[in-house]
Structure 1
Amino acid sequence: MVKKAVLIGINYPGTEGELRGCVNDVKRMHRCLVDRFGFSEENITELIDTDKSKIQPTGKNIRQALSELVGSANPGDVLFVHYSGHGVRLPPETGEDDDTGFDECIVPCDMNNITDDEIREIVDKVPEDCSITIVSDSCHSGGLIDATKEQIGESTKKAGKAVKTIEEIEQEERRNGVHVVNRSLSLESMINMLKQETRKDDIEVGSIRRSLLHAFGEDASPKVQETEGLKAVTKKQVVRKKDKGILLSGCQTDQTSGDVRTKGQAYGAFSDAIQIILDETKGKKITNKELVLGVRELLEYEWYPQQPGLYCSDSNADAPFIC
């Protein structure tokens, strides 16, 4: 059995969507994988955008890293992915269907978005007798593995939004010097950042996918390539005897995840809560369900509005986190 991981942290420095805690989340998870779960350094791939000597988390590089992670796996291997960065929801443009009505995406540093459909395709390539755990500390991360059973959460039930938003909490108080911003990109901000990245000024709502194709060509999302020409795309319902994907999401599809800044430190509220709960177990095994429920309780106690979710098969819900 080999344990392999891909860790992605994107702070988007110098942009209107700049975050502070994402790379810190990755560094912290890296140490956790080595110290607690016995991962070897050579089997952990990091993609971060605050150090130009490291692999940059572009859309192309993230796709390649995930493809290599799954493509090199053998039955019995342990696969793990941690993503900290922006999330975005793209509304339908070409008549495609989705269980949440949107494409949930993670946002690489070059804006070459990776959709929930792509994550699903990657998960489906995982070998038998092998699973892949994905932690996504990003906005709209619920349901990021398309068509996965919702064990904890309300995303596919199209529930209403949380009672309080991060913005409302900010207006109420700064909580002992804690500053919280969300890890969500509005369509307007995403378009502005895409314009900055591609130096094209003719990008607008309603033609985002076409603009992504023109900007990134064959490196764009396969769905983006498929929808060029306004072809309708209908998702195929695939019967899976055992879904090999395990998603721990920082929030529901219609919620935002917090990027927290306090006393010179920055981190994701979800990533931080995971580490706190793991520390409390003192090395004992904890199931995916127990971890998500513990994180939910902790974030609710701290008055964060986000509600983490768990998406996986019944057997994987009760399986130990990671290994």
Structure 2
Amino acid sequence: MTKKALCVGINDYPFGEENDLQGCVNDANDWASLLKNHFDFTEVKQLLNADATKAKVITGIKDLLNGAKAGDILVFTNASHGTYLADTDGDEDKYDEAICPYDTDSNLLVDDELRNLFKNIPKDVRLSVISDSCHSGSVTRVMVNEYRRNRQLNPRVFGGKELSPDELRTARGKKEQHPESAMKEILLSGCKSNQTSADAYINNDYHGAMSYHAIKAITDANYNLTYAELQKRLVSLLEDENYDQVPQLEGNDEFKNSRIFT
């Protein structure tokens, strides 16, 4: 059995400090440390800031999946901006979610591309995806206060089209085309599609609120809980801290009720 991970974190983007984040690199480092030190992952690669271009992230995911066989445990974590955008084929009735790599101005990584990468996972290979970015589609990236910032990127920054409320509802409805029961991977994400994920100042440093509290929940449980239990505890922790985000868990029921990272 092989245990491998790819952890991506992007704070610094090349299109102005006002669009930078502060906790994403810490998130990538924290997930990498957790997996190596407490779950015996033997190969953990990281892509941080300028190294996390779209091409390198795709190559990293392909390397993660390459040669995987039954019994292998794989993890992909991403902490960055996220956004919605209109489909590139010009169909105004369809929209894509996207994570924003370092070179977002020319290369968004859309959900369909990730789905295509994951669809050929061999049987009985377990892939966990942890996404601490935001696909809320809000038209502005709001500074809640100096200690909390949203991880949603205004599409205008990279020449994209902002979505109206009606268009956002269409975009969110697109997920229904991909039922959880058909997913080979499990996905833990930072918020509902109509919310934002926070980049927050916690315990004297910056972190993603979801990542920080997920790792806290795992540690408090002595590294022994299921994905469903993790999501339930995470929702409670964020609610207690007055974050306006509800982490989501997607995947088949068997995967949800299995022990994390095993």
Q: 1:106 to 1:45 in 2, by over 3 A?
A: same
- Is this contact kept in 1: 2:181–2:251, CA < 8 A? no
User: CA shift at 1:190, angstroms?
Assistant: 3.2
* Aligned match of 2:166: none
Write the mapping of 1:1-323 to structure 2, written as runs, cut at 5 A.
Answer: 1-13=1-13, 15=16, 16-40=18-42, 43-49=43-49, 56-92=51-87, 94-95=90-91, 102-111=95-104, 112-140=107-135, 167=142, 170=144, 179-191=147-159, 205=161, 243-261=183-201, 264-283=204-223, 285-323=224-262
Q: More strand by proportion, 1 or 2? A: 2
Deviation at 1:13, TM superposition (A): 4.8
| Alpha-carbon distance in structure 2 between the residues aligned to 1:253 and 1:247 | 14
Q: Report the Cα offset of residue 241 of structure 1.
A: 7.7
Contact 1:141 1:250 in 2 (8 A): no
Q: Which has the larger radius of gyration?
A: 1
Q: Which residue of 1 aligns with 2:168?
A: none
Q: Give the aligned residue type for 1:113.
A: L
CA–CA distance in 1 between the matches of 2:62 and 2:259? 24
| Inter-partner Cα distance in structure 2 for 1:252 and 1:117 | 19
RMSD of equivalent CA atoms:
2.8
Structure 1: 4+ residue segments shifted above 6 A: 237-241
Partners of 1:67 and 1:122 within 8 A in 2 = yes
Q: Secondary structure at the match of 2:200?
A: strand
Q: Which TM-score applies when normalising by structure 1?
A: 0.69
Q: 1:282 deviation in Å?
A: 1.6
User: What 5-or-longer segments of structure 1 have no aligned partner?
Assistant: 143-160, 192-203, 207-233
Distance change >3 Å, CA 45–CA 141, structure 1 → 2: farther
Greater RCO, 1 or 2 (C-alpha within 8 Å, sep 6+): 1
Distance 2:122 2:257 in 1: 20
Alpha-carbon separation, structure 2, partners of 1:262 and 1:38: 27
Q: Percent identity?
A: 33
CA-to-partner distance for each residue in 1:218-273, whole Å, 9 max, x for gaps? xxxxxxxxxxxxxxxx99x6899853110000011222100012575111000001
Offset, 1:136:
0.3
CA distance in 1, matches of 2:141, 2:98: 20
| Structure-2 change in CA distance of 1:136 and 1:241 (3 Å) | closer
Provide the C-alpha distance between the structure 1 equivalents of 2:40 and 2:231, rounded to a whole number of angstroms: 22
Contact between 2:181 and 2:252, CA under 8 Å: does it hold in 1? no
Secondary structure at the counterpart of residue 115 of structure 2: helix
SS at match of 2:84: strand
Q: Judging changes above 3 Å, is the alpha-carbon distance between structure 1 residues 166 and 274 closer, same or farther for their aligned structure 2 residues? A: farther
SS in 1 for 2:255: helix
Which secondary structure does the structure 1 equivalent of 2:258 belong to? coil
CA distance in 1, matches of 2:247, 2:38: 23
